[in-house]
Every structure is written in C-alpha cells, then in structure tokens.
Amino acid sequence: MARGEAIGCFGLTEPDFGSDPSGMRTRAEKDADGYVLHGSKMWITNGSVADVAVVWAKLDGNVRGFLVEKGTKGFSARDIPGKFSLRVSVTSELSLDRVKVGPDSLLPGTEGLKSALSCLTQARYGIAWGGVGSALACFDEALRYAKTRVQFGKPIASFQLVQKKLADMATQITLAQLLALRLGRLKEEGKADFLHVSVAKRNNVAMALDVARTCRDILGANGITDEYQVGRHLCNLESVYTYEGTHDIHTLILGQALTGIAAYGD
C-alpha cells in the first residue's frame, strides 16, 4: 500500500451507527485458526476496489482492528448507487458473513475506539486544508466570472452587492487558511490534539460550503451546469460537512471541552 501497489479501505461506520461508532454490531470471535468476523459496514470509501479492508469489530467487548483481504470467503462489497455527491468516489457497503481470518490479521496495539478515532483525527486534519482548497477553487472561478459577466452595461463585479460577497469570502478564506496553518504548526510541534482538529474541520468545511453557495449565486444559472466547477464543489462539500464527524458532532466535542459536560451519549 505504501508503494501504491495496493488499495485499502477503512471499515468503521455501520448502517445504524455513524456518529456513535461505539454501538457497532460487527463482532469478532476467536477460534482455533484465528478469528471469525460477522457484521456489516456502510459508506466505506474504495470498499469494492480495495485489496484489503481494515475492519473494526468488537472482540470480547473491546473494539479491535482486523485486516480482511479481498476475495476472502464470506466477505463482499456492494457499491452504493444514486449518489448526488462525491460521484467520482467509490462508496460501498461491506458484508462479513462468518469471515475467517488468521491470527496475524489482528492489528497489534488496537485497543478500544481510540485506535480507530486516532486515524480519523489525521484524516480530519487533511480535510481542514481540503476545505480551503475547495473554497479557493470556487472563489477564483466566481471572481473571474464576475469580471467578465456583463449586465446593465458593465461587469457584475462593479456592483456593490457582488463586491461585498467577494470581500466577505476573501476574508473568511484567509481566516481559514490561518487556522489550518496554525494547526499545522501545532502538529509539527507535537502539540495538536483532536480538539484543535475539530475546530479546524468544523470551521473550514462550513466556510467552504458557504463560499461555494455564494459563488454559485454569483454565477447565476451557469453555476448549476457542469461547464463550471462551483456546482461540483457545492455538492461534494455537502458530503464533507457530514463525513469524518458531522458538523454537529464537532460542535458537541467543542462544547464538552468548554463546559466539561457531554451533551451526547452517557
């Protein structure tokens, strides 16, 4: 995988457990030859094309990670059809029907949800930057369009309402860039934790979605066509707003950090 010769996928989310992964129903049982896995996973990127899946399951009440190779008996993947968003991405449901794996398939050192969530923290860090990239792409297109789209005898960029939208977006993008940069420096120093990442993921994706919507507005009807990229980013960001921790879950993570009171779970 490190050499790019194999594709992997990360199987944590289940059909009935997204924001609450601790409720997962996928189970692992130890037997004489290794382990037997039974359950299902949902919304798994690269699920049907992956050579190996990291599947999280409960073993004796503890969440552990297991490697399951493509083609293993009882293991199958089905792509999720009809997506409006992230259409270029393969998104699948994984089914595990008494899947037998060897003892070396158990990931060493994986004890509890902390192991799985630590992986998500790294992914969310990247998403904080990705939101900035999507916003910049939309902003660049809307700015160029506003300078060339003529209405009432002059480019729409000359109107105060459009200039205010552009100024507000430029400000918010810059603030998000500084947030991501600061987070990156904290990470470099070994001082970043999941709370910092939640702040950045929550803010930067919401910012990017707002920017994409405003840019679509500037492009008018053209903004809903595939001749321009704004509509694609807008649809994709709706998914990013939800995955890797929903906007609301990151809000509650920060709320707990500020108040000491958990507003979800027990």
> Where residue 100 sits, what CATH number does that domain have?
2.40.110.10
Q: At 49, list the tokens.
A: 């094309």
Number of domains in the chain: 2
The torsion angles phi and psi of 119, rounded to 5 degrees, stand at: -65, -40
151 and 85 both lie in a single domain: no
The answer as to whether 50 is a domain residue is: yes
Residue count of the chain, please give it.
Answer: 266
Residue 22: pLDDT band (50, 70, 90) is confident
Q: Which of 14, 93, 141, 244 is catalytic?
A: 244
**CA–CA distance, 172 with 135 (Å, rounded to integer):** 10
Q: Note the pLDDT of residue 111.
A: 80
Q: Note the pLDDT of residue 123.
A: 92
Structural domain ending residue among the three candidates 105, 140, 158 = 105
Q: Position 148: which residue type?
A: T
120 and 236 both lie in a single domain: yes
240 and 143 both lie in a single domain: yes
The string of pLDDT tens digits covering residues 241-264 is 999 999 999 999 999 999 999 998
101 and 162 both lie in a single domain: no
Strands 52-59 and 8-11: parallel
The string of pLDDT tens digits covering residues 139-151 is 999 999 999 999 9
Instruction: Specify the pTM.
Output: 0.90
The parent domain of residue 168 ranges over 113-259
Q: Note the pLDDT of residue 266.
A: 59
The string of pLDDT tens digits covering residues 108-128 is 988 888 888 888 899 999 999
- Among residues of the chain, what percentage have pLDDT more than 70? 99
Q: Note the pLDDT of residue 20.
A: 86
Q: Note the pLDDT of residue 113.
A: 84
244 flagged as catalytic: yes
Average pLDDT, the chain: 95
Q: Are 203 and 182 in contact (CB under 8 A)?
A: no
78: helix, strand or coil: strand
The string of pLDDT tens digits covering residues 38-83 is 999 999 999 999 999 999 999 999 999 999 999 999 999 999 999 9
Q: Note the pLDDT of residue 120.
A: 87
> Where residue 223 sits, what CATH number does that domain have?
1.20.140.10
The answer as to whether 68 is a domain residue is: yes
The answer as to whether 14 is a domain residue is: yes
Residue 265 has pLDDT above 80, yes or no: no
Structural domain ending residue among the three candidates 105, 121, 151 = 105
Q: At 243, list the tokens.
A: 């995955």
The answer as to whether 2 is a domain residue is: no
43 and 164 both lie in a single domain: no
